[in-house]
Amino acid sequence: MIHLLLVLFPIALIDSISPVRIGAMVTILCADRPVRRAQAFIVGIFVGYFLLGLAFAFFGQRLLEIDLILDPTRVNFVIGLVIGVVLLIIGGRGLRARSVEGEVEVDPSKSAGGALVTALVITVATAPSAVPLLAGINQILKSQISVSLAYLALVFYCAVYLTPLVVLLVLRVVLGERAETVMKKLGAGAERWMGRLMAALFILLGSANVIDALGYFLFNRPLF
């Protein structure tokens, strides 16, 4: 289990570099009554991503239970190889584009409930780019741990995924209104540099998945 968490930690951190979510969080923190709505936004992101992870895990497990599949372990590594290639493609395209994900409008005047709904909408809208989450779910399925431990591993992944949002909230609470200047600068630069950073990390994660799969198929020694 510890080994699995150590593998999931960097994947979740890479996944957390999201211009859309961070940009939305900055907008909320620079508006009136920021703390309560930011907390609701974080809860919405956690719930939405946890449910998305459960959906990925459900379909992944159903795939491994198909009678024609004689060796589920090999299938896990095939899936990992495909995920790695997809990450490399997305990362390569992202380096040539301004950002990896599209924009989602955030109304800074919304209530805490509105912020929570906005978080869920963002999760659904950006689900097609949640390839790192797929990589994390594949690692959980590959570990063949119990269902209860798998739930805990997914909770851990989602908690790590929230790291940038929690850091921004803590800065806003500690620095107060002085943090708004930093937030606005971060928001202005998010689309310019965060998309490229995300793309570069996607390439790194994709390369690791490809090497892991090739190590298993060629030498029977996976990377993870």
The per-residue pLDDT for range 32-47, each reduced to its tens digit, is 788 899 999 999 999 9
Most confidently modeled of 4-13, 59-68, 190-199? 4-13
Please give the average per-residue pLDDT across 126-148, as a whole number: 87
CA pair distance 171, 179, nearest whole angstrom: 7
CA pair distance 200, 217, nearest whole angstrom: 26
Which stretch of 7-11, 48-52, 202-206 has the lowest confidence by average pLDDT?
202-206
The per-residue pLDDT for range 87-102, each reduced to its tens digit, is 888 778 777 765 444 4
For 106, the token pair is 């955030």
CA pair distance 22, 26, nearest whole angstrom: 6
Calculate the CA dihedral of residues 35, 52, 156, 7 and round it to 10 degrees. Answer: -130
Model confidence pTM above 0.75: yes
Burial pattern 121-133, b for ≥16 Cβ within 10 A else e, equals bbbeebeebbbbb
